[in-house]
Structure 1
Amino acid sequence: MRALLLTRSPDLSAAVTDVSEADLPGGDVLVDVSHSSLNYKDGLAITGRGKIVRGAFPFVPGIDLAGTVAESASDDWAPGDRVVLTGWGTGEDRWGGYAERARASAEHLVRLPDGLSAEDAMWIGTAGFTAALSVLALEAHGVAPGGGPVAVTGASGGVGSMATALLAAAGHEVSAVTGTASAHDYLRALGAAEIVGRETLAEASDPPLQKGVWAGAVDSVGGTTLAALLAQARRHACVAACGLAGGPDLATTVFPFILRGVTLAGIDSNTAPPDLRERAWGRLADAAAAGHLAAVEKTVIGLDDLVEWAGRIVDGDTVGRVVVDVRA
């Protein structure tokens, strides 16, 4: 089967080659993979700019995959079932989606909702799944339409695009934070009510409590941006933290939490429990069926294009979502 294989001897290299199905890791379900996607984390893995891969080399990356069950030793799945897999160490600890077949644990798979094709699922992918988890977290903490603006950072990226679309569809006033001037029209098409330059949140949060602006936020940037969001959060706001494109450090104080009752909700898309996964994918399927995600830009590439596009996504030179047609 064809796969994008990472090798290290001693430098990292990535190339599309034939690999043996016998090299697949253990798992009670064998999946015929038709589509995967390119995420920021995948870009770091392929370019070697981040320590993403923890499995032994050679290694097949790709943190998402969708396809049909080919073989199953589990009563939960049968050949022909349509499935999606995100997280659970896929593409990090164990071989991922950039191959024509993959093995997985039965409990890690989610049934692909009716109305979503495999390509649709990977157009949504981990980015959309993470965005849906973030929106569910805001709602669980009382962030409601009409309560004030909700910021989405990294808004033109995969998570940001999906979060902007989902929040706007739910009736929120979305402030899309971006440093990509060419993405303004795109973000308005997604439903953003306001475009905010990322430099607005790029400075240190001094003083640690500022004018309350945000009723909620979905942050995929981290670092100074997240600290600034917390300093500018309104009373009882919720900020969902789901990424670190701007760095892992967080220089903040307890003041937003103890003086304004702000909630910082951590979003872990990797090991989210099955019931929450089903809720998130159901929300995404409904949004897609209603056309709420239609404006999220989609680019489809093949395995042979991955090395080039990995560099582009790490450099911030992509908009929306990049789908990988594994069979192309």
Structure 2
Amino acid sequence: MTTAAARRFSVAPMMDWTDRNCRLFHRALTREALLYTEMVTTGAVRFGPRERLIGFSPAEQPVAVQLGGSEPTELAEAARICEDFGYVEVNLNVGCPSDRVQDGRFGACLMAEPARVADCVAAMKAAVSVPVTVKCRIGIDDQDPEQALDALAEAVLAAGCDALIVHARKAWLKGLSPKENRDVPPLDYGRVLRLKARRPEAFIAINGGIADLDAAQALLAPRDGVALDGVMLGRAAYQNPELLLGVDPLLFGRAAPFASAKEAAESLTPAIEAHLARGGRLSNFTRHMLGLFPGKPGARAFRRHLSVEAPKAGAGVEVLRAALDLVDESGSMARASEAA
């Protein structure tokens, strides 16, 4: 499958969440979706411990790296390094509103500098052969989203940007925390559709407030002859990872990797054992699983067992197996069979 095809559904880059262990877990639930790293700065890629920061398993593919930066030459160098590591896409963050990111002159504040973003994209495109994409907001602060998003889109697309992923909210750089910026500014899906109508040839994906696969399918459906090319889920995919089991059959016409979330979790046993052998902790994996089994008998006991036992020194895969044994998936599986 091409990267563009995988981009039809992607799991958003999320700081402190979408690390390599999380991505292996998500890959057990969907073979087709495009997965993203946490954002990593150009300085970290160029001078930091690369294997720890951007290393990943081939089993995670297709996986894209998200870079934070605003200097074209530095982004080009970081992009080359990431391509050499095997990433199938390099994404530029033009959407994060945190103070730390603003102090570094990257993230959402770059919405005010479309020409600079275009220079960054052009430099990365010249440096790598994999797709270069941009994730942005519809505007910042007092910007008019109609003008701000068009200005950024026109600039980066002219520079060769392969896809634009739009978080359909403004970012308020002053007055709102990063957490509030994910909820308080109102969603405006119509603004993203208007961009797609203006640039039908461009790959335009949408992000922000998409709660489930029904909402994702609705956003991919044509409206007045306009159809978005992709959807990106963030918190919904992380907090209710079981929904990812429906991605391949519903959005790609392929069978799900496993018949149940329990089977998917159990399939990670070899990867977890290898992680433990390298000195890692069980909780490095299981913290990403706590949202499994919503509404199923035993889900609360599953979460409690993992929360208490997995962080303990010496905890092994038997802790995960014991937690999984507390969950009864039979009722939901029977209902799904009847519905089918």
| TM-score normalised according to structure 1 size | 0.26
Structure with greater helix share of residues: 2
Which structure carries more relative contact order (alpha carbon 8 Å, separation 6+)? 1
